[in-house]
Amino acid sequence: MGSALPAVAAGFGTCLSLIVSIGAQNAFVLRQGLQRHAVPLVVAICIVSDVALIAIGVGGFAGIVNTRPWLMTTAAVLGGLFVIGYGLLAARRAFRPAAMEVGSGTTGSRRRAALTCLGVTWLNPQAHLEAVFIIGSVAAGYGTLRWEFGAGALVASCLWFVCLGFGARLLTGVFTRPIAWRILDGTIATIMVTIGTSLLVSA
């Protein structure tokens, strides 16, 4: 057990350093958390998705994909278009005259929230790069302890999404003002369009 702890700690630190950034998935989870809409569902989807992606990476799938570049090109194009589309929707919200009510529960169906969450996760090559390629590659260096490394990464992922989704409500007071929502949606739109454009260019 003692020899496994460094691998677990390394996995935890590696995943946390990758996941704590403003990206398409985190921006979506933050917004859902602020609106208190379908938060448990969204957080669960993110965690289960990360479990699958990290398991694929630790299991060695990264090496297979490296021999088939067209897979990443296709993912980059689809992901870029999806992320740009979501960014344009955020831009439209930013120009609306009224603010959304925090915790109102009138922000669309749970099905729509789930599909959007799946989209910003599985159509996002950044998530594949981090969870499958980077974590998978680093885990390979731990040999027989690679699954312990992966376990540490999963713990970090779970903690992050739980804190982001359920902790966002602590900012409720700030987002009772229309200008706060405008700034948030404007920032999300900029991030999404930038990420989506870079994905299309890289493809």
131: which DSSP letter?
Answer: I
H/E element, 5: helix 5-19
pLDDT at 72: 63
Given a contact cutoff of 8 angstroms between Cβ atoms, the answer to whether 159 and 115 are in contact is no
| Residue 23 φ/ψ, nearest 5 degrees | -130, -175
On whether the pTM is more than 0.75, the answer is no
pLDDT at 61: 62
pLDDT at 157: 92
156: which DSSP letter?
Answer: H
pLDDT digits (tens, 9 = 90+) for 171-185: 777 766 778 777 877
pLDDT at 115: 92
pLDDT digits (tens, 9 = 90+) for 85-129: 877 877 887 776 444 444 444 456 899 999 999 988 888 777 777
> b/e map of 54-68 (b: 16 or more CB within 10 Å)?
bbbbbbebbeebeee
Report CA torsion sign: 95, 83, 49, 125.
negative
Half-sphere exposure of 28 (CA within 13 A, CB side): 25
How far is C-alpha 146 from the chain's CA centre? 23
Given a contact cutoff of 8 angstroms between Cβ atoms, the answer to whether 192 and 83 are in contact is yes
Low-confidence ranges of the chain (pLDDT < 70): 1-3, 20-22, 61-69, 71-72, 75-76, 79, 82-83, 96-108, 141, 175-176, 192, 195, 199, 203
Given a contact cutoff of 8 angstroms between Cβ atoms, the answer to whether 114 and 38 are in contact is yes
Domain residue extents for the chain = 5-202
